[in-house]
Amino acid sequence: MRLDKFMKVARLAKRRSEAHEALEHGRVRKGGIALKPGYTVKPGDVLEIAYAAHRVTVRVLVVPLRVTPAVRPADLYEVLETGRE
């Protein structure tokens, strides 16, 4: 699954276009390297997301094959760290 779509499904971003914009501006990183919207998300990936006022680090637990109402966003990732920017 593309990273911009995963962020929307996991509710790390309200809209896919918002996730796409954050990725284009380098606000989502993996190991210090900025990711592109088309990056393929894999379980175990640790993502650092910089929002306007805070920063969140999450570990991807599951990447759903299809988006259905049964997919619970809280089950897709775990928050490792949060903090102020």
Nearest-CA neighbor of 2 among 40, 43, 42? 40
Question: For residue 73, which phi and psi values (nearest 5 degrees)?
Answer: -55, -35
Q: What is the pLDDT of residue 84?
A: 87
Q: Taking the alpha carbons of 55, 60, 66, 71 in that order, is the dihedral positive or negative?
A: negative
The whole-number average pLDDT for the span 71-85 is 90
Q: Which domains does the chain have, with CATH numbers?
A: 3-84 (3.10.290.10)
Quick: pLDDT tens for 20-61: 999 999 999 999 999 999 999 999 999 999 998 999 999 999
